[in-house]
Amino acid sequence: MSDADKKSGNADAELIASVWAEARSLMARLEGSSVQRLAVAAGGTSIEIERDPAAVPAAAPPVDLPISRRGSGVMPTIGAGSLGGARDAAAPTGRQAITAPLVGTFYRSSSPGSDAFVEVGDVIEAGQAVGIVEAMKLMNEVQATTSGKIVKIVAENGQAVEYEQLLMHIEPVDDE
């Protein structure tokens, strides 16, 4: 490489210090501004600042859900319609999702005609069966991961479900 790389450490140190100073000052300046991203490069130095979109005033931040499927697909997929679980799981009320542990068919009761494992309003214990997912003729119990009250049952009896598909919502009971 060239002489430029070998120039005195002093000059380098100065340069580096000044770039840091500049970066700090830029950061301060950006607070309250509408700038979302800034990149400056000059003579081998560069500063790049990207801000939290939410911190930018008036901006409606784009929400990225944990499992996102940003409509980029050329073709619709069943996944697209069935990923509600993750979104609802994030709801702030303490409500939690019970999801399918595997791919198969969801049943609310252990056999046709028998009572459902749970109904809306039931208060249950962690580990209690809330349904089954049948796969390859094997019945797999779906268990509640937490204690609480069933507030909503989303999946229907006999419905095909994929991995982690939302089945029902459970909410902690306050006075427990």
* Side-chain half-sphere exposure of 80, counting CA atoms within 13 A: 8
**Residue window 96-125: x/- pattern of binding to another protein, with contact defined by CB under 8 A:** ------xxxx--------------------
> Is residue 168 within 8 Å of 98, Cβ to Cβ?
yes
Nearer to another protein (CB atom), residue 64 or residue 176: 64
Q: Which stretch binds another protein (CB under 8 A): 15-23, 44-52, 62-70, 118-126?
A: 62-70
Binds 69: which of another protein, its own copies, none (CB < 5-8 Å by kind): another protein
Applying CB under 8 A, among 59, 67, 139, 173 the residue interacting with its own copies is: 59
Binds 103: which of another protein, its own copies, none (CB < 5-8 Å by kind): another protein
Nearer to another protein (CB atom), residue 101 or residue 143: 101
- Which value, in Å, is the radius of gyration of the alpha carbons in the chain? 27
Rounded-to-integer distance, Cα 25 and Cα 21, Å: 6
Can you name the residues that pair with 168 across neighbouring β-strands?
98, 153
Q: Which stretch binds another protein (CB under 8 A): 9-17, 27-35, 116-124, 161-169?
A: 161-169
Rounded-to-integer distance, Cα 146 and Cα 113, Å: 27
Residue that has been written with the tokens 């003579």 in this structure: 43
